[in-house]
Structure 1
């Protein structure tokens, strides 16, 4: 196999406590034909000095400065200054398994264009990983091991932002980092899905994901739940909902209400169902809530499920199975 160049894109800002471990993990990769394009996004600590130290010792490290502000513009600048046949992203506060790049390159080589190499991830933290991240890790890795990530894309981000690799030509087809949409990793996952890239199954842990209190995904407003819901609904309406479908929203909790309100604002007609006797029959945003059994009477339904409780989700799946309606075809879980 030839050894194509891999471009590893890294935006960084105030990660001095972790950056050396990140860059060292790249330096120690078993696959050696790579370039790092790291873009300083306004660091006020020692991050830039650390990056420059690696660049002075190894010319595969290229260090640039973001002339704008924010992770998207930093990623965009990194990509525009990259030259690799394969593109991957890295977070400056994490580290790679030594064989990560080799495994991903081999996967893309064997599967060809139209493929997306991914890997299992492992969260770690000096204070211990909370239950939410632990559940997300197990769920995400379960999908990755089978390559079925896109089956549940409306639940959460199914492609780990710092652990994917793709052909440059496919990345361009997907719009690269051109959109100014946050959260940028989830939007990119949807664009991979829209382009019908095929996830390559992987059973190996390739990325170690650090969690700490001031991590960007915890502190930035761009990663708040309302942004995730906006992206989910936008792509759902673009990719899944088509006439003569009859749109149904199942659930009248916070997420259900947020989606219903957005549909009303967009003048998109929908049915609204739930199993809460206190809400059935109520008029909310001009729509009367019905019992979910009304779904049996709706022709060609396509449903958004906003119920998060896992036991209730099992019952909901059974209900749709009895109606001979398929998951990710006739109904989609949004949580």
Structure 2
């Protein structure tokens, strides 16, 4: 019978309204051999007292305090003190289904090392879930049910930060929580991708993701769009680009200009294309915008697409199909 120890790492700060529900959902897991390493990241409300109460009554809960400040250092401390053979994360303001740990653990054991367990997620909010989160949930769950998460990693974070599990040796191989790069969950997803972990398909909803006005992902500057673009470009240049490639940036909106300006600052040559007649021929950052049809004559190209409109994205897909180019190999959607 499987009885491996699973470590669940939880940084928390000022979540007194939600923490008890979160910890109860872990205590009610069908799989019992787990430990929670909860790290207080400077709470000024009643969160620490709530966590301490659980640790007093159930020795599987351990509560520590962050020596520094911020979610990355809190996660590092939690990981340093965990003892599990398998590692998972949890957000202190969410809750998990009773069978989450059991399903994830068994899928990892069945698939062996080099695998990453994920689960479908469900957003909830007392004010109702907005359209953006609803679309993200559907997009993410469609990837998760087939295990194809990494095919669209440059669009958005494809691994739900509070709903994954991995073998400890694989986690160490991916660098654990070593980098200081934000958003830390997106950076970790890229490192899972870089080390070629295989996402295990999952059709079960395992995590309930709470949305509210002062959630960290809404309020912290570390989760602003420019941070996401910086991570995308960092890993694109590291993992996809070679000196023999010709980089093409498709789109001259805000994101396209941000990426183009960064490439200029890095002194990396690129072609810049769009389909807007008002922008074609313009010189921006010393680079002339051209019609996208020039891609037919550019050999060995890697194209970054910053066009967000879904109908236009379908047309772009069709254009590259005619060129016999492959998505996530020859062209990459950055939004």
Q: Give runs of ≥4 in structure 1 deviating > 2 Å.
A: none
Could you tell me which residue of structure 2 aligns to residue 28 of structure 1?
28
Distance in 2 of aligned mates of 1:197 and 1:299? 30
Structure 1, unmatched stretches of 5+, are none
Could you tell me which residue of structure 2 aligns to residue 126 of structure 1?
126
Distance in 2 of aligned mates of 1:302 and 1:70? 36
Distance in 2 of aligned mates of 1:326 and 1:105? 34
1:104-125 deviation per Cα after TM superposition (whole angstroms, max 9, x unaligned): 0000000000000000000000
CA-CA distance at 1:129 after TM superposition: 0.2
- 3-state SS of paired residue (1:278): coil
Could you tell me which residue of structure 2 aligns to residue 19 of structure 1?
19
Could you tell me which residue of structure 1 aligns to residue 177 of structure 2?
177
1:312 paired with 2:327, answer no
1:288 paired with 2:288, answer yes
Distance in 1 of aligned mates of 2:12 and 2:243? 44
Could you tell me which residue of structure 1 aligns to residue 323 of structure 2?
323
Distance in 2 of aligned mates of 1:327 and 1:3? 41
Distance in 2 of aligned mates of 1:81 and 1:26? 19
Could you tell me which residue of structure 1 aligns to residue 102 of structure 2?
102
CA-CA distance at 1:2 after TM superposition: 2.3
Q: How does 1:236-247 map to 2 (within 5 A)?
A: 236-247=236-247
Distance in 1 of aligned mates of 2:181 and 2:283? 33
- 3-state SS of paired residue (1:146): coil
CA-CA distance at 1:165 after TM superposition: 0.1
- 3-state SS of paired residue (2:121): strand
1:117 paired with 2:117, answer yes
1:258-282 deviation per Cα after TM superposition (whole angstroms, max 9, x unaligned): 0000000000000000000000000
CA-CA distance at 1:244 after TM superposition: 1.4
CA-CA distance at 1:98 after TM superposition: 0.3
CA-CA distance at 1:3 after TM superposition: 1.1
1:2-21 deviation per Cα after TM superposition (whole angstroms, max 9, x unaligned): 21000000000000000000
Could you tell me which residue of structure 2 aligns to residue 226 of structure 1?
226
1:187-219 deviation per Cα after TM superposition (whole angstroms, max 9, x unaligned): 000000000000000000000000000000000
Q: How does 1:139-288 map to 2 (within 5 A)?
A: 139-288=139-288
TM-score by length of 2: 1.00
CA-CA distance at 1:243 after TM superposition: 2.6
1:289-334 deviation per Cα after TM superposition (whole angstroms, max 9, x unaligned): 0000010011111100000000000000000000000000100000
Farther off after superposition, 151-160 or 293-302? 293-302
Distance in 2 of aligned mates of 1:287 and 1:231? 23
Structure 2, unmatched stretches of 5+, are none
Could you tell me which residue of structure 1 aligns to residue 66 of structure 2?
66
TM-score by length of 1: 1.00
- 3-state SS of paired residue (1:280): coil
Farther off after superposition, 240-249 or 85-94? 240-249
Q: CA RMSD in A?
A: 0.4
